[in-house]
Homo-oligomer: A and B are copies of this chain.
Amino acid sequence: MGHATNPAFRLLDDPDDQAGARVSRVGGLTFWAETLALHTAAAREFRDVTDQVAEVVRRSGVAQGWVSVFSKHTTAAVVLNENEPLLLEDMGSMLERLSAAAGSYQHNDLSRRVGEMDPDECANGHAHCQHLLLGSSENIPIAGSRMDLGRWQRIFLLELDRPRDRQLVVQVFGA
Contact = CB atoms under 8 A, between A and B. Distances in A.
A55 interface: no
Interface in A83-110: 84-87, 89-91, 94-95, 98-99, 105-107, 109
Contacts of A22: 64, 143
Size category of the binding interface on chain A? 35 or more
Tell me how many chains of this kind the complex includes. 3
Contact of A68 (B66, B95, B150): B66
Contacts of A114: 85
Interface of A is mostly: mixed
Interface in A55-80: 63-66, 68, 70-74, 79-80
25 contacts: A24-B175, A26-B29, A31-B64, A31-B65, A31-B174, A33-B141, A66-B173, A68-B141, A73-B150, A73-B152, A84-B107, A86-B105, A86-B107, A86-B109, A86-B112, A86-B113, A87-B105, A87-B125, A90-B125, A94-B99, A95-B132, A135-B135, A135-B138, A136-B138, A137-B138
